[in-house]
């Protein structure tokens, strides 16, 4: 598991040197420390979900649906790209999942599932930057909403 | 001598008592909504009013429910205002039930004095398509909206020169104000609406603007006065910008708009009524916030980044942090200078405890099967 030891000023783990700054430069160079949704959007687009006028990263400028957690989830759901609220075992490699505040229900974070054999789960994420991190599903303070992509 | 000592002691006690009380004296009780029930497909949550009297050190739950809501595979965040009357925003959304997509109404009022507001049909469609943000103008008793974003298209012109931000007031007939970008913003590539409050007569819209190659995004306040719009620069956005990731959180107390976004550990403030509304970072509030982060958060390296929730009751700021050592959420009430007035803390038995500022338990209420504990939304702003 690769995990950065670089930190933002607010303590978030981030090392933009490992990012795809050529294709998606904004969050590596300008707006930093909040790249979770942008990263998941990049992964989903790499998996062939097409950019649209509402969900895109045109040049240096992503749309809100691309870079904001709540908007991304709403876009994917309303356009039929995901089944939302599936069980953990159905959130497979290539699927996103979302962290909601345990008290308010507000979505605060999203990550990308990269391994799921039914008993071991691993995810990749930005800010905090994670590579193949084991997921136990027991992190305090959040409720988890797993999704499955309908390609 | 004994008398003198007693007198001094009494004076000291009086000073301590006065100081202790004065910090929360005159603070109106904070109301919250507790949604209890089973958070699962097809189930119903029942909402009750929770009143937190910081001054008295009590927390109580209403006997009668305020409303109920049912959902199938998602629970959108509730927006409500204490009014009076107690007002809750109805959001009907598509839900997939038994493989069939159908529109479910979310809120069923349980109390006769619960007022349910529903978006006008056009606005509801725009919200569903994520094209608009909306809020409620209490002075006109109407909904308002602004575009979620105005961006250069994928292919086409390179700047937003000559464009405007359309602000809509859902009166009959609908009124629209085109807030034309000022000359200073002719070279920008994007405008994101991040907050709105009030009407075209007396209100404001806060936007974040982005220029290609610029080091940071910049906030502008569009002041609405008598049906006219004035663009006022507010300064650099916190940590470069607040749209990405979780997005910004707001608490409005009178004309002061507090914001937590961009950086997770800094609270910004804009006095929206000021002649020159600039972003500031209130020292006392941020000093308290910083000490609370140190006290509650420990990065174990195993999960999500630190996150706090910011709300406002209309008189005090409410700051919720997850205490990793206690495995419980704590909601602190802060006054304008950042003094902690008290806090709420849950325990594993389903009780919510009212604590004083120094951490002493004062009273509690039982909230079994609590799913959400929601603070009021001054402007019913939905982004």
DSSP chain A: -EE---B-TTS-B--GGGS-TTTS-HHHHTS-S--HHHHHHHHHHHTTPPP-SSS-EETTEE-HHHHBHHHHHHHHHHTTSEEEEE-GGG--TT-EEEEEETTT--EEEEEEEEEESSS-EEEEETTTTEEEEE--S--TTEEEEEEEE--
Please check whether residue A35 touches B, CB under 8 A: yes
Sign of CA dihedral A136, B264, A5, A57: positive
Residue of chain B whose alpha carbon sits nearest to that of A36: B245
Residue of chain B whose alpha carbon sits nearest to that of A13: B305
Chain A residues in contact with B129 (beta carbon < 8 A): 54, 78
Residue B117 pLDDT more than 90? yes
Residue B9 confidence (pLDDT):
45
Residue A77 pLDDT more than 80? yes
> Taking CB atoms and an 8 Å cut-off, how many pairs form between chains A and B?
179
To 5 degrees, how large is the angle CA B80–CA B81–CA B85? 115
Mean pLDDT of B28-57: 90
When scoring B189, B244, B249, B367 by the number of chain A Cβ atoms within 10 A, the one with the most, hence best to mutate, is: B244
Residue B155 pLDDT more than 70? no
Please check whether residue A61 touches B, CB under 8 A: yes
φ, ψ for residue B364 (rounded to 5)?
A: -150, 165
Task: Calculate what percentage of chain B has a pLDDT beyond 90.
Answer: 63
Residue B20 confidence (pLDDT):
40
Nearest CA-CA distance, residue A53 and chain B, Å? 7
Torsion of CA B254, B322, A33, A62, to 10 degrees: -60
Residue B11 pLDDT more than 60? no
Please check whether residue A76 touches B, CB under 8 A: no
Please check whether residue A50 touches B, CB under 8 A: no
Rounded Cα distance between A104 and B34, Å, is 10
Q: What is the ipTM of this complex?
A: 0.91
Torsion of CA B89, A79, B40, A120, to 10 degrees: -140
Residue B44 confidence (pLDDT):
84
Q: How many CB atoms lie within 10 A of CB B83?
A: 14
Residue B108 confidence (pLDDT):
74
Partner-chain contact A102 B329, CB within 8 Å: yes
Chain B residues in contact with A71 (beta carbon < 8 A): 130, 148, 247
Residue B2 pLDDT more than 60? no
Question: What's the pLDDT tens digit per position in B233-279?
Answer: 999 999 889 999 999 999 999 999 999 998 889 999 999 999 999 99
Considering only CB atoms, A85 lies closest to which of B73, B152, B216, namely B73
Residue B366 confidence (pLDDT):
97
Tokens of B18: 């006065």
B84 versus B339: the higher-pLDDT residue is B339
């Amino acid at each position: 598991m690769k995990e950065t030891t670089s930190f933002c000023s607010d303590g978030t783990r981030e090392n933009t040197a490992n990012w795809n700054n050529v294709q998606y430069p904004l969050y590596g160079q300008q707006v930093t420390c909040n790249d979770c949704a942008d990263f998941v959007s990049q992964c989903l687009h790499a998996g062939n979900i097409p950019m649209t006028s509402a969900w895109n990263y045109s040049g240096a400028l992503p749309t809100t649906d691309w870079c904001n957690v709540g908007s991304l989830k709403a876009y994917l759901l309303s356009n039929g790209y995901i089944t939302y609220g599936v069980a953990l075992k159905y959130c497979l490699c290539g699927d996103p999942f979302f962290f909601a505040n345990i008290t308010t229900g507000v979505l605060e974070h999203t990550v990308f599932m990269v391994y799921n054999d039914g008993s071991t789960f691993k995810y990749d994420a930005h800010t905090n930057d994670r590579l193949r991190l084991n997921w136990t599903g027991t992190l305090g303070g959040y409720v988890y909403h797993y999704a499955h992509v309908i390609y | 001598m004994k008398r003198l000592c007693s007198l001094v002691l009494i004076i000291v006690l009086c000073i301590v008592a006065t100081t202790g009380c004065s910090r929360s004296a005159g603070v109106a009780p904070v109301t919250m909504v507790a949604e209890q029930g089973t958070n699962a497909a097809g189930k119903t949550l029942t909402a009750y009013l929770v009143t937190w009297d910081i001054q008295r050190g009590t927390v109580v739950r209403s006997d009668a429910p305020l409303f109920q809501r049912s959902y199938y595979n998602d629970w959108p965040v509730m927006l409500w205002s204490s009014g009076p009357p107690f007002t809750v925003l109805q959001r009907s959304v598509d839900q997939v039930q038994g493989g069939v997509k159908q529109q479910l109404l979310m809120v069923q009022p349980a109390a006769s004095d619960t007022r349910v507001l529903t978006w006008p049909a056009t606005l509801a469609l725009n919200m569903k398509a994520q094209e608009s943000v909306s809020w409620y103008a209490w002075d006109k008793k109407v909904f308002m909206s602004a575009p979620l974003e105005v961006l250069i298209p994928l292919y086409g012109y390179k700047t937003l020169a000559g464009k405007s931000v359309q602000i809509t007031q859902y009166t009959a007939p609908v009124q629209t104000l085109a807030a034309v970008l000022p000359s200073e913003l002719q070279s920008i590539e994007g405008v994101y609406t991040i907050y709105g409050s009030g009407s075209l007569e007396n209100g404001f819209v806060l936007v974040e603007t982005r220029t290609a190659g610029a080091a940071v995004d910049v906030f502008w306040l569009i002041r609405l006065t008598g049906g006219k719009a004035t663009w006022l620069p507010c300064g650099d956005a916190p940590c470069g910008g607040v749209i990405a990731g979780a997005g910004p959180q707001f608490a409005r107390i009178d004309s002061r708009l507090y914001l937590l976004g961009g950086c997770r550990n800094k609270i910004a403030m804009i006095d929206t009524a000021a002649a020159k509304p600039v972003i500031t970072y209130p020292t006392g509030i941020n000093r308290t916030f910083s000490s609370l982060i140190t006290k509650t958060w420990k990065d174990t390296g195993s999960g999500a980044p630190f996150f706090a929730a910011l709300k406002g009751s209309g008189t005090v700021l409410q700051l919720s942090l997850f205490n990793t050592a206690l495995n419980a959420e704590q909601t602190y009430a802060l006054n304008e200078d950042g003094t902690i007035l008290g806090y709420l803390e849950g325990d594993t038995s389903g009780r919510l405890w009212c604590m004083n500022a120094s951490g002493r338990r004062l009273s509690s209420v039982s909230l079994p099967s609590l799913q959400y504990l929601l603070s009021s939304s001054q402007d019913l702003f939905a982004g």
